[in-house]
């Protein structure tokens, strides 16, 4: 995905009784040295994810402190997907985040950045 494109991020919340909800989506503009998202490709990615490599994105978040709160299970709207109800600020019937098209599969802290893997939902 190109710099300047918009994506939306929904933080996952789990209550004590196991009910999962998501925060209202936050709009993020992709930029070098902030957040970059690229589709997976290459030999090592195919070796790790097999035929699912086409359903994955590689994300780099910098600086480290800005992205240290991302967790597995948080959701993203990527590749042109947009949250339902965000334009008129009304929460969908299912709640925020349930129509997202990607979920954080793995978080891999690095030295100066955080690498996380998104996996397509559906």
Over pLDDT 90: what percentage of the chain? 75
**Residue range(s) defining the domain that contains residue 104:** 6-120
Which CATH number do you get for residue 10?
Answer: 2.40.10
pTM of the model: 0.89
Examine residue 68 and state whether it is found in any structural domain, yes or no: yes
Examine residue 55 and state whether it is found in any structural domain, yes or no: yes
pLDDT tens readout for residues 25-83: 999 999 999 999 999 988 998 999 898 999 999 999 999 999 999 999 999 999 999 99
Task: Check residue 91 and give its pLDDT.
Answer: 87
Residue 92 binned pLDDT confidence (cut-offs 50, 70, 90): confident
Please check whether residue 97 is in contact with residue 79, taking contact to mean a CB–CB distance below 8 angstroms.
no
Please check whether residue 25 is in contact with residue 77, taking contact to mean a CB–CB distance below 8 angstroms.
yes
């Amino acid at each position: 995905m190109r710099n300047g494109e918009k994506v939306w991020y929904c933080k996952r919340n789990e209550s004590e009784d196991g009910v999962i909800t998501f925060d209202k989506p936050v709009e993020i503009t992709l930029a070098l040295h902030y957040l970059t998202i690229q589709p997976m490709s290459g030999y090592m990615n195919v070796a790790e994810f097999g035929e699912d490599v086409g359903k994955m994105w590689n994300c780099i978040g910098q600086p480290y402190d800005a992205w240290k709160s991302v967790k597995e299970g948080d959701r993203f709207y990527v590749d042109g997907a947009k949250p339902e109800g965000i334009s008129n600020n009304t929460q969908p019937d299912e709640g925020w985040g349930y129509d997202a098209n990607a979920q954080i599969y793995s978080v891999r802290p690095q030295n100066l950045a955080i690498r996380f893997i998104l996996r397509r939902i559906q």
